[in-house]
Chain A
Amino acid sequence: MLNDGRVDVVVNDNITVLAYLAQHPEAPIKVAAKTGGTSDQSFAARKGSGLLPELNKALAELKADGTLTKISDKYLDVDLSKGPPKTAWELILDNLWPLAKAAITVTIPLTIISFIIGLVIALVVALGRLSTNVFLSSASRFYISLIRGTPLLVQLFIVFFALPQIGVKIDPFPAAVIAFSLNVGGYAAEIIRSAIQSIPKGQWEAAETIGFNYVGALRRIILPQATRVAVPPLSNTLISLVKDTSLASTILVTELFRTAQNVAAPTFEFFALYGTAALYYWVICLVLSFGQNRFERRLERFVAR
């Protein structure tokens, strides 16, 4: 009926469907979704016949030596021989480490690398914005406007999906780094610009009278003071970035959220896995907030309290 196009959807036992698909790979049919329910296959024996232990023993042997897996693979193309689905708790416990690993090896490096490159871009753009050179200041203005005026998700897609169309192919991770760095650059540029402008003109003049040129005054006198002003809003940017890296899941970066998705999709344990992922993000952000507080206190040491 499906093949003839007379119905759009059927609900059927998955062993039947999988067996059909395994034999007819060309059939214009695909599994659209799975229901939560399972149907168990059972062997029956007359009470007291003494065959039950034999049956169980045979099943256990078939399972142990992999024959069941082979049969399942041969006829259904997937392995259905494994035991009943795990509980949510077991799933969480089993995936605590894989999720942590994804956070440590992908999410956190992605955040740190993008943030550092983003800050460098931001400083350059902020100085450009403050420059008396009309070209530099309007180019910086344009960049900030473009980055702040377009969604981060769209920026990611442009770098990963659109650039290949003009011959620029970038792997998922570096593509994510590029998109996030450019994004941070746009937002942090305004933070750094306003922090620099918050330093009184007299500090520039005092630096000039003791012989500093522009770069020297900026590096030794202005930026150390501007840092104090910029750290709270920049911390906001960093914490947002940690969470925004979850968007990289959409361009095939197997970071924390993507890993949770991969486990949640076949098991339907959304609460358990997305909850765990959320908890991990929260922990990372808590650590960052703690670091921010300490850093701010250090920077406050030269200010009257």
Chain B
Amino acid sequence: MASVDQTMSDGHHGPARGITRWLYTTNHKDIGTLYLFFSLLMFFIGGCMALTIRAELFQPGLQMVMPEFFNQMTTMHGLIMVFGAVMPAFVGLANWMIPIMVGAPDMALPRMNNWSFWILPFAFTMMLSTLLMEGGGPNFGWTFYAPLSTTYAPPSVTFFIFAVHMMGISSIMGAINVIATILNMRAPGMKLMQMPLFVWTWLITAFLLIAVMPVLAGVVTMMLMDIHFGTSFFDAAGGGDPVLFQHVFWFFGHPEVYIMILPAFGVVSEIIPTFARKRLFGYASMVYATASIAFLSFIVWAHHMFTVGMPLAGELFFMFTTMLIAVPTGVKVFNWIATMFRGSMTFETPMLFALAFVVLFTIGGFSGLMLSIAPADFQYHDTYFVVAHFHYVLVPGSVFSIMAAAYYWLPKWTGHMYNESMGKLHFWLSFIGVNITFFPMHFLGLAGMPRRIPDYALQFADFNMVATVGAFIFGISQLLFVYNVVCCIRSGKQATDEVWEGSRGLEWQLSSPPPYHSYSTPPTAEQLSKASH
């Protein structure tokens, strides 16, 4: 190992110059940065689509867009936010932080790392280009249920399928890299149960990715074959079954949901102890809870299809397993609160986002629990109540945790402090915007508004107007974040190595910004013990 490091550090002392630095880079920090900027770009593209949707829904009647374009917007918004914004952002954080947190010089497989990032821009260019094709882009919802996405799909569906394949390959390569780094590159003396929780949640997430991204690849391959090669996986005429599509899709889809939230749990579990100046409560139970959530995610998929006409036994089974998820999730929330309890808390921007995460994610968890009750789900299914639920877990959940992580580690990444008041302003505008946008959606869903409709009955008008106002507040306030990040990269107060008073992990024992090859000599036993207490 020592000899390898020797050649690496002898080979190049720092980044190359110009565009080739980014194109050919195999450095985990450069690739992490690329991932993060890519996901920020996608966040804004997906966000513009969301604002198009909200603008159309500002008032009843058709004003801005026609229904066919509206459907393309809902579909693309979902696909881009899931595969383009949230997932790459977490991969970016993993790239930046995991090697440092386990005391390694870089990711285990740097060349593959470069490749797994550079696939993404091509995949998303292809996907976005479908909007300009004849017949329009994908218009069947991000869940692309057959036969709407096969027999009745626009011709561009083929490009959509290839784009999904490319994203899948990228995610799988990223996941393999993360696992190899965590299992093989840990600093001598660092046991699995001593790893930071962010590393733990990512290890479990990476296994989920490897388990389900191939299933997604399988299901889109079946679609491709149905469309072009005359098979009938999902066509009843040839002995297939459209419901099979939903089973296979949700076998991927439910673990996918946890792929987007487990790393968020990890981020929050790093931030809360730092700003509470107290060790994370129940480290071991956090790890076990994460693992049980991951396990349960494989046996709950059909709760997305309670209305599809399952036999009673099936409904009961999936209802019970789904309710069970509340237990490990509850344990995590309780642990975070126990961490804050009798701590010594301060409220810098990352902490504010993390606290908002705990509250709002839990609200999303409550509506999730309500949705798990099958008979009640018959009333909630495919309404705005569901839209409110998953936006509560994904926006103030995943997205807030990404924001929290960005503010938390920005001083480490750039060596400069960000502008704290602007960060706080960004937080409060986002917090208010998110709640004004998504809280009324609970009411809309309960009052009976179906999701994915471009126009609605008059009794839904008031709350839709409120939601649209909130969406624009949230959307526009994200520009503050971009401004803050850009300023922080260019200038700002010099950050110390620890950055935060309560910070402990290995990343805070490197300089800010850290050296190009993070831990080119493994951290000492003393450093490790400092990191874990």
The finding on whether chains A and B are genuine partners in a shared complex, rather than unrelated, reads: no
A residues near B (Cβ < 8 Å) are: none
